A = this chain, B = another copy of it.
Amino acid sequence: MPQPDHISVLGVPDAGTLDDDLKAIWAKCVEKLGFVPNVYSTYSLRPQRLRNFMAMYNEIMLSPSGLSKLEREMVAVVVSSANRCYYCLVAHGAAVRMLSGDPELGEMMALNYRVAKLDARQRAMLDFAWKMTTTPHLIGDADRDALRAHGLGNEDLFDLAETVAFFNLSNRMASATDMMPNREYHDAVRSPATPAAAKAKKVPAEPGAAR
Q: Which residues of A contact B (CB under 8 A)?
A: 1-4, 9-11, 45-46, 48-49, 52-53, 55-56, 59-60, 63, 81, 83-86, 89-90, 102-105, 107-108, 110-112, 114-118, 132-133, 136-141, 144, 154-155, 157-159, 161-162, 164-166, 168-173, 175-178, 180, 183, 186-187, 190-192
Contact = CB atoms under 8 A, between A and B. Distances in A.
Copies of the chain in the assembly: 6
Contacts of A53: 56
Contacts of A110: 110-111
B10 A158 contact: yes
Contacts of A1: 102, 104-105, 192
A175 B10 contact: no
A2 B48 contact: no
Nearest to A178: B115
Nearest to A65: B46
A49 B161 CA distance: 12
Contacts of A102: 1-2
Contacts of A141: 9, 178
B63 A59 contact: no
A168 B164 contact: no
Please name the 10 residue pairs, one residue from A and one from B, whose CB atoms are nearest each other, closest first. Answer: A161-B176, A84-B137, A169-B169, A165-B172, A136-B175, A187-B190, A3-B104, A190-B190, A52-B56, A10-B154
